[in-house]
Structure 1
Amino acid sequence: MTTATLPSIDADPFAPDVLENPFPLHAALRDAGPVVHLTRYDVYALGRYEHVHAALTDWQSLQSGAGVGLSNFRYEKPWRPPSLLLEADPPRHDAPRAVLTKILGPRALRRLREAWFSDAEKLVDEVLADGEEFDAVTRLAQAFPLRVFPDAVGLPKEGRDNLLPYGDHAFNAFGPPNALVKKGEPRVPELAGWVGEQCRRERLSAGGFGAQIWAAADRGDLTHDQAPLVVRSLLTAGVDTTVHGLAAVLYAFATHPAQWRRLREDPSLARVAFDEAVRWQSPVQTFFRTATRDVVIGGHLVPDGRKLLMFLGAANRDPRRWHDPDVFDLSRDPSGHVGFGMGIHQCVGQHVARLEAEALLTALARRVERIDLLGTPRQHLNNTLRAWESVPVRVHPVATMRP
């Protein structure tokens, strides 16, 4: 272990100006060293790809069970029962993960593929029928996941507008109790109550992901107490992150017309485009871990019980790992990005998100020659997520699609 002084930065990664533009802080973290002390919150931070990747995969030394936010569950009570996927470690994490991995596996996605591609075509037709100028966030990035994913889970139609504000608060709550958290607190009882109600067996339609989770509990693969928490994990993390990933790729194409032409020429690049956008924008910007013992990272000691903040967005633009990392480029192989995490806690629904993106981008590429920004995009600030509130665009439909 080195005796070198641990570099420190007195910056607030949850301040509005940093959430709006995190890239200068990311560069400062990467340049300062492999581990940096963030004095504002007295936590350790990682910004370089090598160390973020290693921390994500070392669940034995850096646990999720003490919370993946700033709050330390060793000493503080969480605002809701912890997630069995995000906020649990083996062995508690194993059964829920195994059940969801099977339910969201290749067989399920093959069954959904045709229907989702058809739904994407219908949605794009509906949007274009209303005109060539619209908000890509509300009309596409939000509309498509809210159209297909709750159906796949087995939710009733009513109340789906609760999913986004509930997820928004859940991801805000991983940060400090700042204005973003306080803004969402008044609706927490209402939203949490609604989500909890949807996790009951009786509310979920037969054959959906939710019903399959309860069937796994009946088989003994889960306990019946775990089943609603696993359904809740789907509803918490399965919508917002996909919405913001889709918004990221639509924003990328609106600002990179040459890349849109490449996709139209080769629609098989749709999944590469989505992953490149996730790398480039990192919809999930940060997650915490907690040291289970004294851990040496990059020659510096992170003491037992201390919080470690991993900057996924900084790692995904680390020039030590990526060539021209600030460029959105479909010729890049983005595999290896940490936008979906890594290791045993890697996003279990990532392939579902990729299928949603592939369906929507394929439908758009068939119908739209060009996507132009119509105005200044607005971000939606969140303590954990990099999100767009509005991306106004003007599209140019292919000639054969015009009336």
Structure 2
Amino acid sequence: MLETQDNQGGMHGRPVLDVDPFSQEARDNPEAFDRAVRAAGPVAWIPKYGVWITGQDAVVREVFSDWRRFSSAYGTGMTNVIREEPWRKPSVILEADPPVHTPNRKVLSRVLSVPALRRLEADFKREAERMVDALVERRRFDLAEDLAFAFPFKVLPDAAGLSPDGRHHLMPYSTLNFNAMGPKNALYQEARRVVEEQGTFEYVSAQMREENIRPGSFGAEIYAAAHAGEITMEEAGMLVRAFISAGIDTTVFGIGMTLVALLERPEQWDMLRADPELARPAFEEGLRFNAPSPVIGRTTSGPTELAGVQLGGEEKVLMWLAAANRDPARWERPDEYDITRRPVGHLAFGVGVHGCVGQMVARLEAEAVLRALAARVKRIHLTGAPEKVNINWLRGYHSIPVEVEPA
């Protein structure tokens, strides 16, 4: 419901969207929620949490593009990490602004450069083909668990130099990370209980240390930068942590939702099979159509105006990327999934100085999976209803039961 409260509510003149973005209803009906956010106007106040929300492309871009007015240093989730105790030490890449952000971003960008990723491309391709061959031989399997999850959980930790032992901790830790970015609701409490009972915090702390990183890996290159004086040793450990907490789930769910979009549209799958070069556009369009990380936050560094609305200082602004990625002011036929579209400019990876530094890794992983599957599978059939995840800050599937027809 869109309304304007009076002075007694302390919100005079502020457009209000009286919803809970993190309710079960919103998770069960994501497209309806996204439409409501766009319809609320350029920016609206959510009284339940005392935050702003925007789902319009132009407004989201304005917020992304001005880190001085809309800071990441207060945390990119609901918690103001400067004023409140965060569940873990803030990230030096995601939850930092220049100048702290700059050297860390520079190191991570070099480690994940195009030449570095080209060296991994053959390994990713080979592993994707191996996994897909084994699954096609089985015919019936879970597309989410056995491929969309299994592939990134193998190749990214390998590339980062993490030990093969204890990787079952990766998913619970990442799930807590993304639940913690939302409200401290039952989803957060359950995720925290799981990692505490399993000893996951101890695992992550150990994996961040240099002595546990495999030589020649991304993690080793990060520590080499610390030894060269570009960043501190503590910052190096925090950058390694980013591979554990932020680099897997979003890719997993992005691949899974892209595959569901394709199997629900056989004509799109046939186009991909006929032209493997459409693998990258298929993933990009998948991210636009169903953003796995539908929201990211910023905090006003002081009073400012956004889209004609006056915002106060240190107020959270939730950029609802899933809504903005279907903004009809930006996209033609926004509610259609079309792999022949050129979805250049979608917001799933962000823009500006805080644009996702690992986006090329995600693209490389997804392309390897889509190419391998399209080369070996004529048709994918659901054998049951896909099951959605329940995570505050993410969308996706934890189960996609299928049967495939080999090519």
Provide TM-score, normalisation by structure 1. 0.96
Structure 2 CA distance for aligned equivalents of residues 204 and 348 of structure 1: 21
Matched ranges for 1:185-204 at <5 A:
185-189=192-196, 190-204=199-213
Counterpart of 1:401 in structure 2 is none
Q: Does residue 97 in structure 1 map to residue 125 in structure 2?
A: no
Q: 1:283-314, CA deviations, whole angstroms, 9 ceiling, x for partnerless residues?
A: 01111111011121110011111111110111
Which 10-residue stretch deviates more, 378-387 or 186-195? 186-195
Of 168, 180, 185, 1:173 maps to: 180
AA matched with 2:369 = L
Q: CA deviation at 1:103?
A: 0.4
1:7 aligns with 2:19: no
Secondary structure (helix, strand or coil) at the match of 2:338 reads coil
Q: What is the correspondence of 1:69-84 to structure 2 with a 5 Å cutoff?
A: 69-84=77-92
User: Equivalent residues in 2 for 1:46-57 (5 A)?
Assistant: 46-57=54-65
Distance 2:238 2:312 in 1: 31
The alignment status of 1:336 with 2:345, answered yes or no, reads: yes
- State the Cα distance separating 1:188 from its structure 2 match: 3.4
Instruction: Confirm or deny: 8 A CA contact 1:61 1:291 kept in the other structure.
Output: yes
> Pairwise mapping of residues 182-221 of structure 1 onto structure 2 (< 5 A)?
182-189=189-196, 190-221=199-230
Match of 2:118 in 1: 110
**In the alignment, what sits opposite 2:3?**
none
**Corresponding position of 2:4:** none
- Quick one: which amino acid aligns to residue 141 of structure 1? A
Encode CA deviations 1:216-267: one digit per residue, 9 max, x unaligned. 1001111112110010012111111111111111111111111111111110
Q: Is residue 348 of structure 1 aligned with residue 357 of structure 2?
A: yes
Partner of 2:47: 39
2:146 is equivalent to residue 146 of structure 1: no
Aligned ranges 1:2-401 → 2 under 5 Å: 5-129=13-137, 131-189=138-196, 190-398=199-407
**Alpha-carbon distance, 1:6 to partner:** 2.6
Aligned residues: 395
Cα shift readout 1:339-361 (whole Å, capped 9, x = no counterpart): 01111111111100100111111
How far off its partner does 1:24 sit? 1.5
Residue 367 of structure 1 aligns with an amino acid whose one-letter code is R
SS of residue matched to 2:332: coil
Distance 1:344 1:322 in 2: 24
Contact persistence 1:6–1:35 (CA under 8 A): no
Residue aligned with 2:396, SS: strand
Shift of 1:16: 1.2
CA drift of 1:152 comes to 0.4
C-alpha displacement at 1:128, in angstroms? 1.5
Aligned-partner SS, 1:309: strand
User: Could you report, residue by residue, the CA deviation over 1:360-403 in whole angstroms, capped at 9, with x for unpaired residues?
Assistant: 111111100111222111100111101211111121111xxxxx
**What is the CA distance between 1:281 and its match in structure 2?**
0.7
Question: Partner letter of residue 24 of structure 2?
Answer: P
Task: Note if contact 1:369-1:395 (Cα within 8 Å) is conserved in structure 2.
Answer: yes
Structure 2 letter corresponding to 1:384: W
CA contact (8 A) 2:92 2:101 kept: yes
Matching residue's letter, 2:362: A
Structure 2 residue matching 1:381: 3-state secondary structure: coil
- Give the C-alpha shift of residue 79 in structure 1: 1.1
Residue by residue over 1:100-145, the C-alpha shift from the partner in whole angstroms, topping out at 9 and shown as x without a partner, is 100001111111011110111101011122x212110001000101
* CA shift digits 1:4-46 (9 cap, x unpaired): 9332121100001212222212212211210111111111111
The SS at the match of 2:60 is: helix
Rounded to whole Å, the distance in 1 between the matches of 2:212 and 2:195 is 20
Question: In the aligned structure 2, how far is the partner of 1:67 from the partner of 1:242?
Answer: 22
1:287 aligns to what SS in structure 2?
strand
Q: Partner residue of 2:6?
A: none
Distance 1:363 1:22 in 2: 30
Contact persistence 2:136–2:377 (CA under 8 A): no
Q: Deviations over 1:47-104 (max 9, x none)?
A: 1111012111211100010011111123201111101111100001011100010000
Whether contact under 8 Å (2:278, 2:340) holds in the other structure is no
1:254 and 1:375 mapped to 2: Cα distance? 13
Specify the code of the residue in structure 2 equivalent to 1:323: E
The alignment yields a C-alpha RMSD, in angstroms, of 1.3
User: In the TM superposition, what is the alpha-carbon distance from 1:336 to its structure 2 partner?
Assistant: 0.5
Which 4+ residue blocks in structure 1 deviate beyond 2 angstroms?
3-6
Does the 8 Å contact 2:174/2:245 carry over to 1?
yes
Say if 1:288 and 1:308, in contact at 8 Å, map to a contact too: yes
Gaps of 5+ in 2: 1-10
